[in-house]
Amino acid sequence: MVLALMLLPRTSLSHDEFDETSASRISTSTNQLIMAVGEYQRAAGARRNAAAAKLRLAARERRNLLLNAIERQPGLTLRQSLPTGLTMGLPADVRDLIEQEVELTGRVTGLHGDDMRNKVSTRKYFLELTPEPHSVRYRLHAADLPDHPGHEHPAAPFVGKAVTVRALKIDGQLLLTGEGAIEAADSTGATSNITTVSGGTVSGTQNTLVLLANFQDKALSCSATQVNNLMFGPSGSVGDLYRETSASAVTFSGSVYGPWQIPYSSGVCSYSTWSNALDNMATAQGINLNNFPRRVYVFPQNVCSSAGYGSSGGTPTRAWIFYCGTTDLYAHELGHNLGFRHAWTPGSEYGDKSDIMGQSGHPLRQLNAANKIRAGWIPSARIQNVNGAGVFTIDPTAATNSVIAQALVVPKPDTKDNYFIS
């Protein structure tokens, strides 16, 4: 079969939806690939190898453009995708360079990056096909997400759960193909042996390994003793905060090691590589990583834009800390590990400073009513739904012997959201 066609975008896009230069480059590259496919199909004999080399180059150049666009403009990538039948009969290595429509089942995990200084959060979601240590992990992208605090990626409600996704696969990236492209794969959705918000009531002992590092060009300003007191001390620590705010449903225990010098500098943001190096050092020291489903990595300040990162939904969970003496930053990132999202207000990603999941750099404070309700830390009998005007009396959420409501939930019909009052 000889294929001769010029591909146009599936729908027209306004200037506001994507950068015209990127769209033009991808469209041009797509047409060059289609012409290379035609030449390859027509070629015979010695010309076949030359046509295959040209085809391979065209596919690789277009793949690189799509990978750049999928990060910043996923909607553009989706609309510029090729017909599914185009790759039939092409060499296998060329097919691997072209997007494919796939249906995969795995577990969703998340990663939050917290740039507290500029009040900017980054959220990434992944599909893991098999458990560690040999997991296959794909980054999940979604097109046309609203740009405001509190917006949800389609994968966000499924963190920690088994799902089936329908997506375009480009290398290690998956682009969800539209509404309904991700759905629960079973009745419970739970795949992690750590209880988090996504799996119901947050409870149990959180056995946590804390590893400290020095860079080649910068040393940590905190000692292991200081970090141990900050994390596990009897009062004013992260463990004390979560014991108190959960009414003893959650306790933290663990060990602190280091600081160990890793063969990297602070001038390149490679936090995943850094933590892998610390894991290897810990294993070499005889530490059994499997005993610690929560892991915290502490580094000197560096060029990463975030003050810290926190994963969610997987086993183990990981937190990366770049300000070793900021206690509420540890509590915030471990909150992501437990499944909590940000305490935001309209117009500000970290606007609710009354909650540890808001802005860091403040004294330790408990979680607010919305997060405590999601965690199962306020009994349903202490939650009052409000459907009309009235005068209400409530106890503080920190009270452990309340006999009246501790939180009011007021529905907001126009957006289907709720106000939480505590």
pLDDT digits (tens, 9 = 90+) for 313-326: 988 999 999 999 99
Residues 90, 105 within the same domain? no
For residue 339, what pLDDT is reported?
92
pLDDT digits (tens, 9 = 90+) for 285-305: 999 999 999 999 999 999 999
pLDDT digits (tens, 9 = 90+) for 65-76: 999 999 888 888
Whether the predicted pLDDT of 352 surpasses 60: yes
Whether the predicted pLDDT of 206 surpasses 60: yes
Dihedral sign from CA coordinates of 352, 356, 358, 363: positive
CATH number of the domain to which 259 belongs: 3.40.390
Residues 249, 157 within the same domain? no
For residue 198, what pLDDT is reported?
46
- The band of 15, judged by pLDDT with boundaries at 50, 70 and 90, is very low
For the chain, the domain total comes to: 4
User: CA-based angle 307:243:107, to the nearest 5?
Assistant: 60
For residue 145, what pLDDT is reported?
62
| Cα 256 to Cα 7: distance, rounded to the nearest angstrom | 57
Last residue of a domain, one of 95, 130, 159: 95
- Tell me how far apart the 2 most distant CA atoms of the chain are, in Å: 87
Residues 291, 224 within the same domain? yes
- Averaged pLDDT, 365-374: 92
199 part of a folded domain: no
pLDDT digits (tens, 9 = 90+) for 127-174: 999 766 667 899 999 986 654 455 678 999 999 999 999 999 999 999
372 part of a folded domain: no
Mean pLDDT of the chain: 88
| Cα 374 to Cα 306: distance, rounded to the nearest angstrom | 26
Residues 389, 347 within the same domain? no
Last residue of a domain, one of 95, 122, 142: 95
For residue 416, what pLDDT is reported?
82
7 part of a folded domain: no
Residues 233, 281 within the same domain? yes
Residues 298, 345 within the same domain? yes
What tokens appear for 405 in the block? Answer: 């409501």
CATH number of the domain to which 169 belongs: 2.40.50
Whether the predicted pLDDT of 412 surpasses 80: yes
Last residue of a domain, one of 184, 217, 241: 184
Bigger pLDDT: 184 or 415?
184
Q: How many of the other CB atoms lie within 10 Å of CB of 100?
A: 14
- Averaged pLDDT, 360-369: 92
Residues 386, 347 within the same domain? no
- Averaged pLDDT, 389-406: 92
- The band of 40, judged by pLDDT with boundaries at 50, 70 and 90, is very high
| Cα 321 to Cα 301: distance, rounded to the nearest angstrom | 9
Whether the predicted pLDDT of 38 surpasses 70: yes
37 part of a folded domain: yes
189 part of a folded domain: no
Range of the domain at 408: 378-421
319 part of a folded domain: yes
Residues 354, 384 within the same domain? no
Residues 212, 269 within the same domain? yes
Beta bridge partners of 409: 385, 420
Backbone angles phi, psi at 408, to 5 degrees: -110, 135
pLDDT digits (tens, 9 = 90+) for 217-231: 999 999 999 999 999
pLDDT digits (tens, 9 = 90+) for 274-283: 999 999 999 9
Residues 314, 339 within the same domain? yes
pLDDT digits (tens, 9 = 90+) for 65-114: 999 999 888 888 888 888 878 888 899 999 999 999 999 999 999 999 99
Those residues whose C-beta lies under 8 Å from the C-beta of residue 339, and which sit 6 or more positions away, are: 159, 160, 196, 197, 198, 199, 202, 312, 313, 375
Please state the pTM of the whole predicted model. Answer: 0.84
- The band of 126, judged by pLDDT with boundaries at 50, 70 and 90, is very high
74 part of a folded domain: yes
| Cα 364 to Cα 345: distance, rounded to the nearest angstrom | 19
**Lowest mean pLDDT: which of 147-151, 185-189, 235-239?**
147-151
Residues 165, 216 within the same domain? no
Whether the predicted pLDDT of 22 surpasses 90: no
User: What is the percentage of the chain residues whose pLDDT exceeds 90?
Assistant: 71
221 part of a folded domain: yes
Residues 224, 170 within the same domain? no
